[in-house]
Structure 1
């Protein structure tokens, strides 16, 4: 987390959390979701505006974390902005020698498990969390599987959030908790 963010949190400790305004799609793209977009439907049905500002995206990546309840958020100064996830908290890119890197630029130390769901999507569970393999890198994952480096295990996509302790929609969870 950036030092400037820590300082803002200390200076303004009681800023309300923000829900529904930021989404992460299954390709690692961030979307800003204004009131009109949120009213049009849940993420990813209504995605919003693709964030293209490089410095803003880098700032989000550096300050992207998980709370104790499995909700992923971006710490924006003193405000915690919870993220709506299309698939998983991380989107993996696979480079040469099976080097795995998250959409945030973080690289896990180990791949603990390879999973394939009923639609053929590939996931990797790592020491930093679960992520879906980017669609452009499924061939690299298939090569790793064929070479015996990763042994896939079948999984139902609907079971992933509970099994790997992450929340796909903190906004929906909040609404249910308030009901």
Structure 2
């Protein structure tokens, strides 16, 4: 977090949190009351001061006030870089992951130490090029992918994702089950023991 944010939090530690104003869409764009924020300095400030609390609720720490983020899908959105690596919408590179999850619409989400990373639709070719059957090294065909997508939510498929030097397990997970499975909250709300505006 920015130094000015930490100073403001120390000066005013009990500012009530804000819910329902800020959002993040599937393209990795920040929203304020549903409208895309386009001002570069504001976008960069949010990215630098974006975090998650112990309950899986993602937020922007704006000075002393925490503004919780409503997520259209996941807290981190990946884009393929020129060197074929992945970076999330905040600018951080995706270095490691534990598994890949596919939902009923073939949306791909990486489970990483930093949080759940949605690989947006335009970047799905990156995933498809790296999917392999657990029994071999050839790229998969449409029937192998269709079979994996027909699995029940929570099931481990017979696919793996080649990610750097690792081969990650691939699971089927319904969109509705992603938050519980990967530990994040799409629509944060105040808890009973908290004050809010």
TM-score tier, shorter chain, comes to 0.7 to 0.9
Match of 1:9 in 2: 9
Q: Which structure has greater helix proportion?
A: 1
Whole-angstrom distance in 1 between the partners of 2:32 and 2:191: 19
Alpha-carbon displacement from aligned partner over 1:103-141 (angstroms, at most 9, x marks no partner)? 111113202111111011111111211111012111111
Match of 2:170 in 1: 152
Asked if structure 2 preserves the Cα contact closer than 8 Å seen for 1:109 and 1:127, the reply is no
Whole-angstrom distance in 2 between the partners of 1:70 and 1:31: 19
The structure number with the bigger radius of gyration is: 2
User: C-alpha displacement at 1:85, in angstroms?
Assistant: 0.3
Asked if structure 2 preserves the Cα contact closer than 8 Å seen for 1:63 and 1:76, the reply is yes
- The runs of 5 or more residues in structure 2 that have no matched partner are 133-138, 140-160, 163-167
Pick the aligned partner of 1:88 from 64, 74, 90.
Answer: 74
- The runs of 5 or more residues in structure 1 that have no matched partner are 34-47
Whole-angstrom distance in 2 between the partners of 1:174 and 1:29: 26
> Please, what is the CA RMSD of the aligned residues?
2.0
User: C-alpha displacement at 1:98, in angstroms?
Assistant: 4.4
Tell me the TM-score normalized by structure 2: 0.76
Whole-angstrom distance in 1 between the partners of 2:191 and 2:123: 34
Q: Give the 3-state SS of the residue equivalent to 2:22 in structure 1.
A: strand
Tell me the TM-score normalized by structure 1: 0.83
User: C-alpha displacement at 1:94, in angstroms?
Assistant: 2.2
User: C-alpha displacement at 1:95, in angstroms?
Assistant: 2.8
Whole-angstrom distance in 1 between the partners of 2:10 and 2:107: 41
Matched residues, number: 162
